[in-house]
Amino acid sequence: MSFWKEKSVLVTGATGLVGSWLVHRLLEEGAHVTALVLDRDPASQLLRSGDIERISIVNGNLNNYQDVSRAVFTNDCSIVIHLGAQTIVGTALFDPLTTFESNIKGSWNLLEAVRQSKGLVEAVVVASSDKAYGESEILPYTEEQALHGDGPYDVSKSCTDLLAQSYGNTYDLPITIARCGNIYGGGDLNWSRIVPGTISDLLADRQPVLRSDGTFVRDYVHVDDVVSGYLRLAEVTHNRNINGEAYNFSRDEPLSVMDLYRHICQATLGKYIDPKVLNTAKSEIKDQHLNSAKAKKSLGWSSQVSLESGLVRTVEWYKEYLAGVKVG
């Protein structure tokens, strides 16, 4: 029997890229899912797939403690996966206050509600990011490295991460942290990101745009791998005493933005198209990539989706989406 069968699970950020596919997997595994939802974006994969009709919705805002507490207690949720956040670096640079409120205040509201649940919640996984590590000359990042975000988005993820560690360690709560590389896959409608933006431009016969100079180095991991990582981490958090522990999730195969762009061109058109290189990226870390050996050793997790196959699947999703076809 699946670990998730009949489990009551709260997911924040359920309308986002990872959240939509995570909810879908949880439903497939037989879980009862509750989602804290602020806005019902009709373009979200959660709505397009029809999965929103199969879960319990609590309307509310992460910034409101009463809303968050209500979400935890409504269906006696025993597992919480906290994905809700403002996830765009550029938006954080332009509007840091909103980002801090969403990412930091939203997280302490969630963690405090878990503390007040008095043992009802048996496992919490908090989404951090590779951005939490900040700029570093030591790469790849390992979980032992200190967190020192600099730009507003990076700081918001460092704070979220540290809050989760604090609550887990201080109050002996079953809380763990996931730090992922750059996540891509069908359902990401933030067109400023390189994968959806480039695919959209190529399919529309527009010249794609690179915001950076193309030399920035990143990890890219498919959303299916990330969902598997979250689910596995939640299972282990439930069954072992690993309070406050963090785990990196990546393919351990860093590549430059320009190299990724070439792969996207190949997956979309089968040929290379010269991009327009703006070189205007601000408040972004130049090089960052992760070492996920700890997740492999302790959780038995490893990436199962190659970059090539992941991009082909992603391109197919956008072809259907942009053609106005319901994507299931």
The residues carrying an active-site annotation are 153
Return the structure tokens found at 99.
Answer: 């980002």
170 Cβ partners below 8 Å, 6+ apart? none
Place of tokens 């069968």: 5
Return the structure tokens found at 114.
Answer: 């878990």
Q: Is the dihedral of CA 106, 107, 110, 115 positive or negative?
A: negative
Please give the Cα distance from 198 to 195 (Å, whole number): 5
Contact 130, 161 (CB under 8 A): no
Place of tokens 């991991």: 221
CA atoms within 13 A on the CB side of 224: 11
CA 212 vs CA 86, 130, 165: distances in Å: 21, 18, 33
CA-based end-to-end distance of the chain: 26
Return the structure tokens found at 267.
Answer: 């997956």
Place of tokens 């010249």: 207
- Backbone angles phi and psi of 89, in degrees to 5: -60, -45
- Backbone angles phi and psi of 287, in degrees to 5: -130, 130
Greatest CA separation for the chain: 57
Of 267, 182, 252, 262, the closest CA to residue 223 belongs to 182
Contact 115, 174 (CB under 8 A): no
Strand partners, 248: 179
